[in-house]
Amino acid sequence: MIRALSLVSVALAVAAMACREVSNDDPDAGAGADGRTDAGTGYPPPRSGLVPAVGSEATFDLATWNIENFPKDMATAALAADLITSLALDVVVVEEVANEAAWNELAARLPYHEALLSPHVYSATEYQKLGVLYRRPLVSVAPLRLLFNGDTFDFPRPPIQVSISVDDGEHARMAFDLIGVHLKAGVTTEDRTRRRNAIVDLDAHVRAQVDGGGEDEVVMLGDFNEVVTDAAGQGVFAPFLTAADRYKMQTQAYAQGGGITYINFGGRALDHIVTTAGLAAEVAGGELVVPRLDQSFGGYEGLLSDHLPVVLRVPLR
């Protein structure tokens, strides 16, 4: 249910497949470096092969990615498009979109994806929005809605919820609800309390939906700004961790094994994916992958983000 760019120039290549990942064996690979552009967007096609692919034809590949005050550089949107294409991601929930024009550029540079962006703003000129990029025609979505929009203390950036449908024409159609979050940052007791309160509210929201006969297949993912590797963090996540009959934190084992999703301060796992019990059969045999772009791609942090994408690869059945 679930599925060295240089600072001077961004060389972009032709996308070879319209539905899934771009093949590195395409005879036109490298096109776009001569300045040719896609007539529909005005931008060169995104490049594949920049980093090893995570996604595949046999999996549905769902990611969360904090793209840090997007965009960090004039080249950031092009690089993000290249990396999403190279990683072959089907759905990406992003956090920290701080410029709508740059977001629109990113969307235009991804000819096989559609984009949804939260309407939430702090003020007319300041915001960190959540957004969703999804591959078409594989994925279709219902309109985005905001959750807890009035609770700006516990949810300074309101979560977004969308209903997702996945259909490749060969495997069974999949449908689930996707909730993207970006919880309060910081290390004070108050910051942690706000995150704890937010997770209590998210738990109540999902319980009410599932127990009320609504969609029971739900994925919550995003930048929770919290670790699951110490007692305090586990206390924040208690509504999920103490209800194994309802939830599975897909990132828990990775984090407790020393994995990181946030690069700075020695590295920590702050970005997580949680699935409901209704998805147990579908995610069985799935794999959590966190590509270390900070190690495989020179200039990654300076050009794009201090967070890494977190991907859940789920076999198509």
What confidence tens digit (pLDDT) does each residue in 47-97 have?
A: 999 999 999 999 999 999 999 999 999 999 999 999 999 999 999 999 999
Compute, in degrees rounded to 10, the torsion defined by CA atoms 257, 182, 220, 162: -150
Amino acid identity, position 275? T
Range in 34-38, 103-107, 251-255 the model is least confident about? 34-38
296: three-class secondary structure by DSSP? helix
pLDDT one-digit tens code per residue, 160-200? 999 999 999 999 999 999 999 999 999 999 999 999 999 99
Does the pTM exceed 0.75? yes
CA distance 2 to 156: 27
Compute, in degrees rounded to 10, the torsion defined by CA atoms 234, 147, 139, 112: -100
**Residue 261 neighbours by CB distance under 10 Å:** 24
pLDDT one-digit tens code per residue, 190-242? 999 999 999 999 999 999 999 999 999 999 999 999 999 999 999 999 999 99
DSSP 8-state symbol, 317: -
What is the per-residue pLDDT for 3? Answer: 42
Q: HEC string of 59-88?
A: EEEEEEEEEEEECCCCCHHHHHHHHHHHHC
> Does residue 133 have a pLDDT over 80?
yes
Query: Hey, which bits of 208-278 come out as E strands?
Result: 218-223, 247-249, 271-276
**Residue 17 neighbours by CB distance under 10 Å:** 13
Query: Hey, which bits of the chain come out as E strands?
Result: 59-70, 91-97, 113-117, 129-135, 139-141, 145-146, 160-166, 174-182, 218-223, 247-249, 271-276, 287-289, 310-315
**What domains are there in the chain, each with its CATH number?**
59-315 (3.60.10.10)
What is the per-residue pLDDT for 245? Answer: 97
Residues 55/90, Cβ–Cβ less than 8 Å: yes
CA distance 96 to 129: 5
CA distance 233 to 94: 23
What is the per-residue pLDDT for 99? Answer: 95
Closest CA to 227 of 242, 237, 219: 237
Per the document, the length of the chain is: 317
**What does each C-alpha distance from 35 to 48, 77, 281 come to in angstroms?**
17, 17, 47
CA distance 30 to 14: 6
